[in-house]
Amino acid sequence: MRGMGTNEAELIGILANRSNAQRVEIRKRYKTMYGKDLMNDLKSELSGNLEECLLAMMEPSVLYDAKCLRRGMRGAGTDEETLIDILCTRSNQEIEAIKREYKEYYKRDLEKDCVSETSGHFKRLLVSMCQGNRDTNMTVDMAKATKEAQDLYKAGEKKWGTDESRFNVVLASRSFPQLQATFNEYIKISQRDIMNSIDREMSGDLKAGFRCIVQCARNPAEYFADRLWKSMKGAGTDDSLLIRVVVSRSEVDLVEIKASFLQKYHKTVYKMIEGDCSGDYKKLLMALVGKN
């Protein structure tokens, strides 16, 4: 970045092939050597989607999640999809770390911000998610699975109107193996998949949140594959969504997400990015996702 212009190809070559921890270390060393913050230099030299993607890559992953959540709630309107993508998919430990980072960085309480920016049953779901208190016992209690499948059936399909709070209790607190067992029992009782029932009984952000939890209990890679597809399908690209999924999952389960994407949409993520994005931004994303 010295002197005239920026060598984007070199930046991409260096940063796309490092882990998040290594990139954070590069930022520290840069400050030690040059007395400047690499993030500020990137901001002054770059623009648009390339800037957004590189800055996202330079953040420690927990702080990046915290910043995405804050951006989703700042100003007029709330980006509920971002709140769901993060709060409904992270582990207990990750939620606790995000809450700490959010408090430290913004001097604000994440749960309180969720409460002030959302409403109704969706607000309750987010408050539940902010507790980071999902059961971690991987042993399945079949009697409980059968009973809770019946509870969900009575709370939704079987009654006039829907008892959303009953769905919240089960979906927000049970372990993923326990939820899988409950969903299997639900099919036997109702002759319908839980996803179909949620689609029929719920609407809006609450429906999206519950669907996210069901998908993550079954196959989190498929959930994020769907999110990648949504970011690129049709006319125009939701670049912020595309960047957020690629950057935040790149060291978690991107290999599984790519496999799920190929299986479901018969196209590689790499090819989709190649056809959908342009310039150095495209090169950076392609370097991050890798050809295979």
Task: Convert the pLDDT of each residue in 226-249 to its tens digit.
Answer: 999 999 999 899 999 999 999 999
Is it the case that residue 207 has pLDDT exceeding 90?
A: yes
Per-residue model confidence as pLDDT tens digits over 234-291? 989 999 999 999 999 999 999 999 999 999 999 999 999 999 999 999 999 999 999 9
Is it the case that residue 4 has pLDDT exceeding 60?
A: no
Better-scored residue on pLDDT, 5 or 156:
156
Per-residue model confidence as pLDDT tens digits over 35-66? 999 999 999 999 999 999 999 999 999 999 99
At 174, the amino acid letter reads: R
Question: Cα(266)–Cα(262) distance, rounded to whole angstroms?
Answer: 5
Say how many C-beta atoms besides its own lie within 10 A of residue 38's C-beta: 20
Report the CATH number of the 8-58 domain. Answer: 1.10.220.10
Structure tokens at 161: 């109107």
Q: Which letter does DSSP use for residue 146 in this model?
A: H
Homologous superfamily assigned to 142-218: Annexin (1.10.220.10)
Per-residue model confidence as pLDDT tens digits over 105-129? 999 999 999 999 999 999 999 999 9
Q: Which residues of 243-275 are buried (b: 16+ CB within 10 A; e: fewer)?
A: bbbbbbbbebebebbbbbbbeebeebbbebbee
Report the CATH number of the 68-131 domain. Answer: 1.10.220.10
Question: Cα(99)–Cα(226) distance, rounded to whole angstroms?
Answer: 27
Q: Where in the chain is the domain with CATH 1.10.220.10?
A: 8-58, 68-131, 142-218, 221-289
221-289 carries CATH number 2.60.120.10: no
Q: Residue 229 phi/psi, 5° resolution?
A: -60, -45
Per-residue model confidence as pLDDT tens digits over 137-169? 999 999 999 999 999 999 998 776 789 999 999
Structure tokens at 22: 């290594």
